[in-house]
């Protein structure tokens, strides 16, 4: 263990990445980075992190911001439940812990959106606590070191145990950062650079020549595909948008209305029916604008978007929280999911081309 720790720490001293959240010990800033990094790559997170810290420099400023502003700042990062939980957790820290992030693991774990890896990541980076972490990169490194013969999800307790045994008792901060860097830059998913790896001589996968076969892949069922009809409804140069209900996937974000195509239905029929059911209005479905394909964790969608014209009726928020008529120029003021942003871009170029 001592040899593993010291070889990794000296590798990190020379090869560790310089990342903006490593220049601070502020638990709030580190918390921001940990939440953003949960399902997003470092290079995408960096500009978001920097903008976020300018917009919400303290836990107070973040907790007191309204959710729409928060979702707008998060726009494009995906997995919006992270932003909503983070916002609730910040309000809780402000109200219950005088704005100080808890230094105790059990207390931190009670906050919304904070699991064991995130808590370990924050407490080690901010307070140098020697707590284990197990993110995607770390799982891969450890699965290879121990030549784990089952997919990681089937051996989580063993992996946690190894992470806990390995973490340096005095240098939890640097050790965990080093372990993440090793996974991100050397022990990569494809073609790990074993020849420059500080752990090569202790790595069972390398010693057996099976590093590229590990970790064993999780067997997954194919994910379902939903075909959706989407309406860009025009009336007097304005477009109708709706705010999704606060809970669930993409909760609280704005969107162009629409819904799932039923068996035997054309896209046009689907749009007409959905708009009647969701908003209680009659529309005329016009020409096709764009089809956007997007993959979420558990399903894929194809959004078939059509220009539509309002014909009759006053729109009502039947299956959403709010509706608004807005101009094309106002659309960027509202937080939209990524797939809808492509629709906005297509709208802008179709309108500028007349
Ligand atoms: S020797 Fe290779 S497989 Fe083993 S930890 Fe290092 S990079 Fe990963």
- The Cα–Cα gap between 295 and 303 comes to 11
Triad 207, 212, 217: Cα angle to 5° = 120
Atom of ligand 1 nearest to the CA of 194: 2
* Position in ligand 1 atom list of the atom nearest CA 186: 7
pTM recorded for the entire structure: 0.79
Determine the pLDDT at residue 217.
Answer: 86
CB contact at 8 A, 282 and 313: yes
**Going by CA atoms, what residue is nearest to atom 8 of ligand 1?**
187
Quick one: pLDDT at residue 354? Answer: 57
Rounded to an integer, what distance in angstroms lies between the CA atom of residue 205 and that of residue 146? 7
Nearest CA to ligand 1 atom 4: 203
Look at residue 353 in the predicted model and tell me its pLDDT. 64
199 Cα–ligand 1 center, Å: 6
pLDDT in tens, 193-225: 999 999 999 999 999 999 999 999 877 777 889
Which one from 3, 34, 218, 274 is the annotated catalytic residue? 34
- Crossing angle of helices 136-145 and 172-181, in 10° steps, is 80
Task: Label residue 79 exposed, middle or buried (CB < 10 Å: 0-12, 13-18, 19+).
Answer: middle
Strands 282-295 and 300-312: antiparallel
Q: Are strands 300-312 and 322-326 parallel, antiparallel or unpaired?
A: unpaired
- Angle, alpha carbons 332-337-341 (nearest 5°): 50
Which pLDDT value is given to residue 79? Answer: 86
Ligand 1 pocket, CB under 6 A: 141, 144-145, 186-187, 192, 194, 197, 199-200, 203, 205-206, 211
pLDDT at residue 317 tops 70: yes
Q: Counting atoms of ligand 1 from 1, which one is nearest the CA of 192?
A: 7
* pLDDT at 152 > cutoff 70: yes
Q: How far is the CA of 68 from the centre of ligand 1 (A)?
A: 44
pLDDT value at position 78? 86
| Gap between the Cα atoms of 324 and 111, Å rounded | 34
pLDDT of 343 over the 70 cut: yes
Question: Mean of the pLDDT values across residues 153-163?
Answer: 95
pLDDT greater than 70 at residue 350: yes
Q: What is the mean pLDDT of residues 74-92?
A: 93
How would residue 248 be classed by pLDDT, with cut points 50, 70 and 90? confident
Integer angstrom CA distances of residue 85 from 47, 58, 140: 21, 17, 27
Average pLDDT value for the chain: 94
Mean pLDDT of 139-148: 96
Q: Is 34 a catalytic residue?
A: yes
Distance 178 CA to ligand 1 centre (A): 14
Among candidate residues 228, 244, 240, the one with its CA nearest the CA of residue 308: 240
Going along the chain from its start, the domains and CATH numbers come out as 2-213 (1.10.340.30), 225-352 (3.90.79.10)
**What's the 182 CA to ligand 1 centre distance in angstroms?**
9
Q: In the prediction, which pLDDT does 135 show?
A: 94
In this structure, the strands spanning 282-295 and 238-243 are unpaired
pLDDT of residue 223: 85
pLDDT for res 351: 78
Q: Is the pLDDT of residue 22 over 60?
A: yes
261-293 confidence digits (pLDDT tens): 998 899 999 999 999 999 999 999 999 999 999
As a whole number of angstroms, the longest Cα–Cα distance in the chain is: 75
């Amino acid at each position: 263990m001592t040899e593993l720790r010291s070889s990794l720490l000296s590798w990190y001293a020379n090869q560790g990445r310089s990342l903006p959240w490593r220049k601070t010990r502020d638990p709030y800033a580190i918390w921001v980075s940990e939440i953003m990094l949960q399902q997003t790559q470092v290079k995408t997170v960096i500009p978001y992190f920097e903008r976020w810290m300018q917009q919400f420099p303290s836990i107070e400023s973040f907790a007191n911001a309204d959710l729409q502003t928060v979702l707008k700042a998060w726009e494009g990062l995906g997995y919006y439940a992270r932003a909503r939980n983070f916002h609730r957790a910040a309000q809780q820290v402000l109200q219950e812990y005088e704005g100080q992030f808890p230094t105790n693991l059990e207390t931190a774990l009670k906050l919304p959106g904070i699991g064991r890896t995130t808590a370990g990541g924050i407490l080690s980076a901010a307070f140098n606590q020697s707590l284990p972490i197990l993110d995607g990169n770390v799982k891969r490194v450890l699965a290879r070191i121990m030549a784990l013969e089952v997919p990681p999800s089937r051996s989580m307790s063993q992996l946690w145990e190894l992470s806990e045994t390995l973490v340096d008792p005095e240098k939890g901060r640097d050790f965990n950062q080093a372990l993440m860097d090793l996974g991100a830059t050397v022990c990569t998913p494809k073609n790990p650079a074993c020849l420059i790896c500080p752990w090569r001589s202790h790595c069972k996968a390398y010693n057996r020549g099976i590093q590229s076969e590990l970790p064993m892949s999780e067997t997954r069922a194919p994910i379902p595909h939903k075909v959706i009809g989407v309406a860009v409804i025009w009336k007097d140069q304005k477009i109708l948008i709706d705010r999704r209900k606060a809970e669930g996937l993409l909760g609280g974000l704005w969107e162009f209305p629409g819904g799932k195509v039923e068996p035997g239905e054309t896209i046009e029929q689907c749009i007409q029916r959905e708009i009647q059911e969701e908003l209680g209005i009659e529309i005329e479905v016009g020409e096709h604008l764009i089809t956007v394909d997007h993959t979420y964790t558990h399903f894929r969608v194809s959004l078939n978007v059509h220009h539509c014209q309002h014909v009759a009726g006053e729109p009502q928020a039947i299956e959403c929280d709010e509706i608004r008529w807005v101009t094309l120029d106002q659309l960027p003021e509202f937080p939209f999911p990524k797939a809808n942003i492509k629709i906005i871009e297509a709208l802008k170029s179709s309108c500028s081309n007349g």
